Each structure stands twice: as C-alpha cells, then as structure tokens.
Chains A and B, each alone.
Chain A
Amino acid sequence: DAGVIQSPRHEVTEMGQEVTLRCKPISGHNSLFWYRQTMMRGLELLIYFNNNVPIDDSGMPEDRFSAKMPNASFSTLKIQPSEPRDSAVYFCASILQGAYNEQFFGPGTRLTVL
C-alpha cells in the first residue's frame, strides 16, 4: 500500500488567497483526521471523519477553515481567505476503526502564507 498521500507537499501563497489541501487515506481505512503542527502550538487536531461523516470539528480554528470528505478515498481541507498565521504543516492521518486507534500519518503539506 502507498500509505496516506497528501498533496501538495509544499504550498506558498499570498494572504487572502484560497488554499486547498488534499488527502487520500489508506485504502480500507474508514476514519480520517486532519492535524496542524506549529512550533508554538504543537500538534493540533482540526477535524475528523468516520465513514465520510464529520464527527468532531471543534479544533477548526475559525470559519475560514472547512473540510470535506466526499468519498472514502478523498478529503480536502480548505482555507479561504488564508492569513500568515495559518502557516504550518498540515497532516492527514487515517485509521481502520477498531484497530486500536493506530493512526497512519501522511507526509504533510507545508503551507506558507506570505
């Protein structure tokens, strides 16, 4: 298996632009998580899905952030409009529900907002 796939790996954009991050979970996994990692705040859970349904979005910082999972093999995290404080590494992780919560992480997307 190719593991969790994220794209792009790096994104540089200007303040005010829309940013879309993409994630393909491991085939057969039915839960997906989006995290943000910064030096100041460490690793934060933004939102997670079970069977394509958002379960907990309490970590989404504000309305500028939105996430979707239209099917079992694809999810997006969108920031509109982006701000410099959104600069971070965004990780996607997936698990097979019931498998003792072992999350498999993607390589991350490094976002820089100028």
Chain B
Amino acid sequence: AQSVTQLDSQVPVFEEAPVELRCNYSSSVSVYLFWYVQYPNQGLQLLLKYLSGSTLVKGINGFEAEFNKSQTSFHLRKPSVHISDTAEYFCALSIQGAQKLVFGQGTRLTINP
C-alpha cells in the first residue's frame, strides 16, 4: 500500500523568510506526486505536480518542490513567504495509471508579520 507522511503538522515562519514543508512517501511502484493548498474556508487547489523528468518542479505563487527518489521525498519550498501564503498544504500521491489520490495529513503554514 502507498502512504504519504507530512512531517510537520504546523510550521510558523516570519514574513519574507524561506520555508520548507516536508513530505515523504512510501510506494513500491512508480507514483505521481502533488502538492495542494487549501486557503481558509476553501477547497483544495493544485500548487504543483511531479510526473516525470526534471526533479525540480515549479508551481504557482513562487513555490517549488524537489523529487528525491532515493530519499522518497517531495519537499515543498518557497524562498520568501508572504502573509497570503497562510494556508494548509497537502502532499499527495497517485499510482501511475490509477486515479485515487493518497493524501498526507496536511501542514498548517502560519506567516507572522
């Protein structure tokens, strides 16, 4: 079975500081990897995805993530955060050829002024 572990349930950072949200996954077969963002009282919105190819993936709002197969990780980074980045972030995977997403428990990112 596949699983996703988000190592931090909450991450507080100051505005304009860099941030990294950690995600590790477990799967015996090839997967696609995703990061979704959920702003307060809204649904989930895709930030970025890794399908194949370059291990560094760039997404919306200045976020990027790096796929590391040997460490089974897909950490999300932003060099300088803004108050508007306050949200919950979900890492997810799907098996290639399947449709279900397996989600991590989420990381709440709080930006302090």
Chain A residue numbers with a CB within 8 Å of B43 are 4, 91, 93, 105-108
Counting chain B CB atoms within 10 Å of each CB, which of A33, A93, A105 scores highest?
A105
A91 CB contacts on chain B under 8 angstroms: 43-44
The verdict on B74 contacting chain A, using a C-beta distance below 8 Å, is: no
Tell whether A43 pairs with B51 under 8 Å between CB atoms, given A101-B32, A105-B45: no
Which of A33, A93, A104, A107 has a CB less than 8 Å from the CB of B42?
Answer: A107
Q: CB of A53 within 8 A of chain B?
A: no
Residue of B nearest to A102 (CB): B46
Q: Please, which residues of chain B bring their CB within 8 A of the CB of A48?
A: 99-100
Sorting the interface of chain B by its residue count into under 10, 10 to 19, 20 to 34 or 35 or more gives 10 to 19
Contacts of B49 in A (CB 8 A): 100, 102
A52 within 8 A of B: no
Residues of chain B contacted by A108 (CB below 8 angstroms): 42-43
Stretch at the interface among B18-26, B56-64, B77-85, B101-109: B101-109
Of B43, B94, B106, the most chain A CB neighbours within 10 A belong to B43
**Residues of A contacting B67 in the complex (Cβ-Cβ under 8 angstroms):** none
- Complex contact B103–A43 (CB within 8 A): yes
Nearest residue (CB) in A for B105 is A42
Chain B CB within 10 A, most for which of A56, A103, A104, A106: A103
Residues of A within 8 A of B (CB): 4, 31, 33, 42-43, 45, 48, 50, 56, 91, 93, 95, 97, 100-108
